[in-house]
C-alpha cells in the first residue's frame, strides 16, 4: 500500500506553532502507539502529543525556501499498522510583506488567508513568472498565478458554504426535494481544468500569452 502524503500549511522560520494530523481510524478502533519522525529539513520538532482529535506536533525554526518531511506512524488496538508522510514548507514572510500587501489590495477575497500561505504561493509563482518576462507584467502575473493556486486549494472562500457552492457552479437549490441547478458556463470552465478553471487563472493567461506566446515576427515588410 503506498504511503499517503499530506501537507501542513507553510510556516515562517521564527514561528512556533502546533500542527494537527488526524489519524484515520475504523469505527470503534483506537490508537495504541504512534511516532513522529523528521525525515528531511531543518524544522525542529519541539514536542508531540495525542488526543481524540489526532496527533499534535509542535514545530519551530526552519530555513526559508525549504520543504520539511515528517513521517507519522501508528498502531491501533484493532491490529492496524500504518503511516503517512506530511510535508511543510518554510517561507520568510518579511521578504514578501510589500508583495502581500499589494496582493491583498488586488485580491481582497484572500484577506482571511495566512500571510505565510500567500507568501508561499507568491514564491512558487516566481518559478513560472521569471524576470525575463516583460517588467510591467512580472508582479501582476505572479499575483494572478498565486491567486489561482490559492483558489484551487480552497482558500479565499469568503462567502462561506453558499459562496463555495457558487464557485462549484450551483445556481440554485431546494432542500425538500433536493432540486439543484448548475451554471453551465462555470461547470464547463471548471471541467476544462488548467488556468481557465478560476477567474484568477484567466487573468494569468493574458500575461502568459503575452510573454510565452508563439514566435513573433519582427521587422517584416
Same domain, 62 and 136: no
Q: Total structural domains in the chain?
A: 2
Domain-located, residue 98: yes
Same domain, 71 and 116: no
Q: Which of 27-31, 93-97, 135-139, 180-184 has the highest mean pLDDT?
A: 135-139
Last residue in a domain, options 89, 115, 142 = 89
Domain-located, residue 48: yes
How many residues in the chain? 221
| β-pair type (31-40, 17-21) | unpaired
Q: What are phi and psi of 156, to 5 degrees?
A: 85, 15
- Helix (H), strand (E) counts: the chain: 6, 9
Domain-located, residue 77: yes
Share of the chain above pLDDT 70, in %: 76
Last residue in a domain, options 89, 112, 142 = 89
Q: What is the extent of the structural domain holding 31?
A: 4-89
Same domain, 162 and 108: yes
Same domain, 78 and 101: no
The widest CA-to-CA distance across the chain, in whole angstroms, is 80
Domain-located, residue 97: yes
Three-state DSSP string of the chain: CCCEEEECCCECCCCCEEEEECCCCCCCCCEEEEEEEEEECCEEEEEEEEECCEEEEEEEECCCCCEEEEEEEEEECCCCEEEEEEEEEECCHHHHHHHHHHHHHHCHHHCCCCHHHHHHHHHHHHHHCCCCCCHHHHHHHHHHHHHHHHHHCCCCCCCHHHHHHHHCCEEEECCCCCCEEECHHHHHHHHHCHHHHCHHHHHHHHHHHHHCCCCCCCCCC
| Mean predicted confidence (pLDDT) in 194-201 | 94
Dig out the grid coordinates for 145 from the structure: 498565478
Domain-located, residue 173: yes
pLDDT (tens digit per residue) in 126-160? 999 999 999 999 999 999 999 999 999 888 754 44
| Mean predicted confidence (pLDDT) in 71-80 | 93
Same domain, 103 and 190: yes
Same domain, 117 and 201: yes
Domain-located, residue 45: yes
Q: Look over the chain and give the mean of its residue pLDDT values, rounded to a whole number.
A: 84
Same domain, 147 and 51: no
Same domain, 83 and 104: no
Long-range contacts of 159-163 (CB under 8 A, 24+ apart): none
pLDDT at 137 (0 to 100): 96
pLDDT of residue 45 exceeding 70: yes
Q: What are phi and psi of 77, to 5 degrees?
A: -65, -25
pLDDT (tens digit per residue) in 10-29? 999 999 999 999 999 888 89
Same domain, 27 and 81: yes
| Mean predicted confidence (pLDDT) in 75-103 | 93
| Mean predicted confidence (pLDDT) in 58-69 | 94
Same domain, 202 and 98: yes
Last residue in a domain, options 89, 116, 151 = 89
pLDDT at 15 (0 to 100): 93
Indicate the range of 39-53, 56-70, 174-188 predicted with least confidence: 174-188
Instruction: Name 86's Cβ contacts closer than 8 Å, sequence gap at least 6.
Output: 5, 6, 7, 8, 19, 21, 69, 70, 71, 72
Domain-located, residue 68: yes
Same domain, 85 and 97: no
Same domain, 51 and 98: no
Domain-located, residue 218: no
The residue whose grid cell reads 513521517 is: 71
Q: What CATH number is given to the structural domain containing 15?
A: 2.60.40.60
CB 208 within 8 A of CB 141: yes
Residue 175's pLDDT band (boundaries 50, 70, 90)? very low
**Is the model more confident about 164 or about 134?**
134
Amino acid at each position: 500500500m503506498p504511503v499517503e502524503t499530506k501537507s501542513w500549511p507553510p510556516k515562517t522560520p521564527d514561528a512556533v506553532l502546533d500542527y494537527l494530523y488526524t489519524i484515520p481510524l475504523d469505527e470503534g478502533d483506537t490508537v495504541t502507539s504512534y511516532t513522529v519522525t523528521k525525515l528531511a529539513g531543518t524544522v525542529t520538532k519541539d514536542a508531540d502529543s495525542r488526543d481524540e482529535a489526532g496527533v499534535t506536533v509542535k514545530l519551530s525554526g526552519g530555513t526559508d525556501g525549504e520543504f520539511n518531511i515528517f513521517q507519522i506512524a501508528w498502531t491501533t488496538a484493532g491490529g492496524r499498522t500504518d503511516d503517512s508522510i506530511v510535508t511543510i514548507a518554510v517561507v520568510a514572510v518579511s521578504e514578501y510583506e510589500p508583495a502581500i500587501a499589494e496582493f491583498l489590495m488586488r485580491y481582497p477575497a484572500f484577506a482571511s488567508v495566512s500571510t505565510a500561505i500567500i507568501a508561499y504561493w507568491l514564491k512558487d509563482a516566481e518559478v513560472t513568472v521569471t524576470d525575463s518576462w516583460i517588467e510591467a507584467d512580472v508582479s501582476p502575473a505572479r499575483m494572478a498565478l498565486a491567486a489561482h493556486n490559492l483558489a484551487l486549494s480552497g482558500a479565499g472562500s469568503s462567502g462561506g458554504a453558499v459562496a463555495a457552492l457558487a464557485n462549484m457552479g450551483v445556481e440554485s437549490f431546494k432542500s425538500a426535494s433536493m432540486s439543484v441547478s448548475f451554471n453551465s458556463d462555470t461547470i464547463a470552465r471548471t471541467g476544462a481544468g488548467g488556468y481557465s478553471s478560476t477567474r484568477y487563472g484567466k487573468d494569468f493567461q493574458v500575461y502568459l500569452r503575452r510573454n510565452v506566446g508563439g514566435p513573433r515576427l519582427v521587422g517584416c515588410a
